[in-house]
Amino acid sequence: MEITSREKIFKMSLPSHVQIVEVGPRDGLQTEPKFIPASDKIALVNALSGTGLAKIEVTSFVHPRTIPQLGDAREVLSGIEKKNGVTYSVLIPNLRGAEMALEVGVDEMRIPVCASETFNQKNVRMSITESLQAIEGIQKISEPAMTPLEVGVALAFGCPFEGEISSEQVTSIVGRLSEMGVTRVSITDPAGIANPVQVKDRISTLLAAFPEIKFSLHLHDTRGMALSSILAAMEVGLATFDSSIGGLGGCPFVPDATGNVVTEDLINMLEEMGIQTNVDLEKLIECSQLAQKLVDRPLVSRILRAGTRQQLIQSHSTSP
Ligand code: ZN
């Protein structure tokens, strides 16, 4: 009874279906100090492909000196078993990265631009304007290759170096992307400083101002507000979210940042609320166990530690 009434309350304003983009193999593994062999990365992506996830960010074509862990991008991308119905995307830092990704073959590319000038300089040694010009250069090769390009607007909720990032700054960058013909934009918070009210405010502004753009949200759970912020974003109509298996990850430029919101915790929350994800939670938990084995340390996943609600109920119904 309790769940039925909860579903009724939330379904009035929440999407019936949500798409999850798994970024663990890229965002998650990029900060792992211990090198994970390409064969293990391939095994993780293949396992994730069998869970029902619609999109997986496989790797990044960044220079191996910048992120040695992902220096095997070509090997990993060409080694995975591509499954029908799954979109395989990669992160690219620049034109050279895009050329390399297109050479191997990829379904989608994502390139970041920071809403903070300081962070953008530290990340790619370019101003925001130079980054936007670089994106225009990449469009010249991604469009003929019919490979969609998504732009990640990073530090959209605040920056560890600049402090507050205004809503106007984010809207202005998205406006310039819209003028360039970009139709996919991910709003990202690698520093994990967004809160639900800020997310609701910023996402509703963007959805209203740019109906031609398909937005997604990429939150790190550094301060434990990622799930509540996703709920806030769903309340204003957003239905695509990034997450990371087991909560793998951090951010190379953000001190003590933790990983993305945990994929299995997010799927568990959504499914329990009656929101469809088409993802098999049990298979996902197996992927999380595999990820934990690969990095050789316990991950932050709550579901991995505590089990699902269903498991708890079953254990109580079988024991006196
Ligand atoms: Zn991230």
Lowest pLDDT segment from 9-13, 80-84, 204-208, 253-257: 9-13
Compute, in angstroms, the gap from residue 30 CA to the centroid of ligand 1. Answer: 10
Q: Which residues are catalytic?
A: 251
Q: Indicate the SS3 state at residue 59.
A: strand
Can you give the pTM of this predicted structure?
Answer: 0.93
What confidence category does residue 5 fall into, taking pLDDT thresholds of 50, 70 and 90? low
Res 142: pLDDT: 97
In which band, very low, low, confident or very high, does the pLDDT at 103 lie, cut at 50, 70 and 90? Answer: very high
Query: Ligand 1 mean position to 219 CA, how many Å?
Result: 7
What pLDDT sits at residue 1? 43
Ligand 1 midpoint to CA 5 (Å): 35
d(CA 200, CA 27): 24
Mean pLDDT of the chain: 93
In the prediction, which pLDDT does 316 show? 75
**Section 239-248 average pLDDT:** 97
Please give the average per-residue pLDDT across 49-77, as a whole number: 96
How confident is the model over 38-57, as pLDDT tens digits?
999 999 999 999 999 999 99
User: CB atoms < 10 A from the CB of 176, how many?
Assistant: 15
Per residue in 130-172, pLDDT (tens digit) is 999 999 999 999 999 999 999 999 999 999 899 999 999 999 9
Q: What is the mean pLDDT of residues 207-223?
A: 97
Measured over the CA atoms of residue 289, residue 295, residue 298 and residue 303, the dihedral's sign is: negative
